[in-house]
Structures are given as C-alpha cells and as structure tokens.
Amino acid sequence: MKNQQILLARRPHGAVVEDDFRMVESEVPPAGEGQLLTRVRWLSLDPYMRGRMDDAKSYARPQPLDEVMIGGTVAEVVESKNPRFKPGDFVVGMAGWQQYQVTDGAGLRKVDASLIPLSAYLGPVGMPGVTAWYGLTQIGKPKQGETLVVSAAAGAVGSVVGQLAKLLGCRAVGVAGGKAKCDLVTGELGFDACVDYKAESFRADFKAAVPKGIDVVFENVGGAVLDASLARMNAFGRIALCGLVAGYTGQPIPIQNSRSLLVNRLLLQGFIVAEHMELWPQALAELGQHVAAKRIRYRETIAEGLASAPRAFIGMLEGKNVGKQLVKLV
C-alpha cells in the first residue's frame, strides 16, 4: 500500500513557496504488535507551522528537513494490534502531512463523530479552540461588561475567542482583513463589531468600535494591529499574546507604544497552549458543549487532497482562508 507524504524540502527564505515542500511516496509498513494503522481523514493547517519551518531558536525544535511535515490530524483506525483501539475508531493526533500512519497510539485521543463533525476536533473543539479558551479565561480573565479585542478574528482561534467573550457578557470586537471576513465576524459569529485593518479608515474605525476602551486583548497578529489596541487600553488591561503572524516572514514588528504598558499598568503574557495540557479536558468539555449546542459557530476553508496542502498553507499565511484551514484527504 502506497503512502503519500509531504516533507519539508528546505527552509523558506522569507515567504513560503511551494518548492519548500516535496511530495514522496513510500510503502506503508505493517502494524507490529501493540501498533495500529490509521488513515488520515483531515489535516489541520495552522500558523505555528511557519515558525517550525525556520531553524531559529524557539520554544519547539525546528521541523527537521526531509521529514514529514508536522500537523494535527483526524484519522480513522484501519487496522489495530493495540487493545485500546479498533478499526473504525476516529482519533485526533499528530500524523502530519501524510495519508497513513503506523503508531503505537501514544498521544491519540478517541473522538465521537455523532454529535460534532469530525473536522471540528481540529478547530473549535481542538487545539485552536483550547488556545482561545486558555488565553481568554486564564490570561485575559474578562469580566462581564468589559471590552475584548481579538485580531485575526475570522480565523480558527479568533472566532472562538470572540464568541466565548460574548458568552461571558463582554463586548467582543474583532480585527480582520477585508469586508468579507468582517461581515462573517459580525454576522454569523455574532461579534459586536469588526474592524478591517486593510481599510484606510482603520484607526478611526477602531477607535469608534471601542468607545469604552479595551480591557482584554487576544493578540494573534502583532505590529500595527497590536499598537492600535495599546493606544486604547484601559488601566489594568490584560493582553494574551498568542501569535505574531505579522512577523512570520521576517518583517520587523516593533511595539511602538511601549508607554501604554507602563502608564496603563498592563499585563502581557505570551503563551503556548501545549504547555497547559492539564486544562485541556476542562476546555474541550466546555467547547464541545458550546459547539454541539451551536452557541459557538465556526467556518472552515477546505482544500481537497494531500497535494493541495502546500498551496493551502501558503494561502492561510496570506490570510486567504476564512475560519479554520483544513485539508480533506478522504
């Protein structure tokens, strides 16, 4: 049986291009004692992968060259010599950019497809959802009536942040690129406002969207977007620093308004959700209930077939996706 795999062929120079990846085909090895064979159904494409492609010092080791690209997946168990799993089980794991994986099952989480669509386990009921939940509830700690701003608001994380904030009684303001995304954010996703950072009137629009100032920022972008928030922070505001996509291709992303951090006695905390596994069960339980009850809605952008992954990934880094970027393999 053939297994298509996508490897990191070389480290990007600035913007990622398709030639940074290489598709190979290998034989699927047989599952040994205690192992299982899974077939990937859904592959998650996420901004953190861009960081791994570089060889820079970071919180995680770089993606090794000539190895299968890292990635979260939902897979179906095809064959099992492991008593914890049986064929037909669905498992969330990190199979990466490939069609099949033989694994001992470590780190796999069985999921139920009856109440929640499988792909949601890579979105609002998966890592992006827990990221939103952690940054908002553990760092942002919003109180009823406060104002929250989240950047990349139409994305997999940002869309959950704003909806959770609404459920907590906050004013939720999104920042997103373009009218289509902003319409989604204030329409289907139910935010109170959304500001288009690509619009010429961004500064004025932003100011109008936060008439009582900002108490909590969930930051995915950095650079000028973060500075816009800093200029309108209230005293004792909290900033959960989740990502800096504005700098993913090496652009400088200074924080110009450092004075606001002092003058407003702000708390800023960078975080990586994978370091807080003890809270995942609670977060996933809450998120699963919200999604099943449609209190949290989500959008997906779906690319078809493993071969489409590089282009879809590049598109996501350029902001072309709406909501969660996925690759559907089967």
| Gap between the terminal Cα atoms of the chain | 16
62 is a contact residue toward a copy of itself (CB under 8 A): no
Which residues, 6 or more positions from 206, have their beta carbon under 8 angstroms from its beta carbon?
Answer: 175, 195, 228, 232
Torsion sign, CA atoms 290, 167, 194, 176: negative
Residue of 271, 279, 289, 315 that binds a copy of itself (CB under 8 A): 271
Binding to a copy of itself by CB under 8 A, coded x per residue (else -) over 163-182, reads: --------------------
293 is a contact residue toward a copy of itself (CB under 8 A): no
- Name the maximum alpha-carbon separation found in the chain: 63
Residue 39 pairs in a beta bridge with 76, 100
Residue of 12, 71, 72, 243 that binds a copy of itself (CB under 8 A): 243
269 is a contact residue toward a copy of itself (CB under 8 A): yes
265 is a contact residue toward a copy of itself (CB under 8 A): yes
User: How big is the chain, counted in residues?
Assistant: 330
Query: How far apart are alpha carbons 238 and 228 in whole angstroms?
Result: 15
94 is a contact residue toward a copy of itself (CB under 8 A): no
Structure tokens at 127: 């890592």
Q: Which stretch binds a copy of itself (CB under 8 A): 12-20, 141-149, 174-182, 268-276?
A: 268-276
275 is a contact residue toward a copy of itself (CB under 8 A): yes
279 is a contact residue toward a copy of itself (CB under 8 A): no
Nearer to a copy of itself by Cβ, of 91 and 283: the residue is 283
Site for a copy of itself in 195-224 (CB under 8 A): 222
Three-state SS letters, 97-117: CECEEEECCCCCEEECCCCCC
Which residues, 6 or more positions from 326, have their beta carbon under 8 angstroms from its beta carbon?
Answer: 42, 43, 44, 45, 119, 122, 123, 300, 301, 302, 303
DSSP state of 68: B
Nearer to a copy of itself by Cβ, of 250 and 305: the residue is 250
Q: Which stretch binds a copy of itself (CB under 8 A): 15-23, 109-117, 258-266, 289-297?
A: 258-266
Query: How far apart are alpha carbons 35 and 33 in whole angstroms?
Result: 5
Count of positions on this chain that bind a copy of itself (CB under 8 A): 31
- Sole residue written with tokens 């909501």: 323
Q: How far is the CB of 263 from a copy of itself (least distance, A)?
A: 5
Q: How far is the CB of 242 from a copy of itself (least distance, A)?
A: 8
Would you tell me which residues interact with a copy of itself (CB under 8 A)? 57-59, 222, 226, 235, 241-244, 247, 252-256, 258-259, 261-272, 275
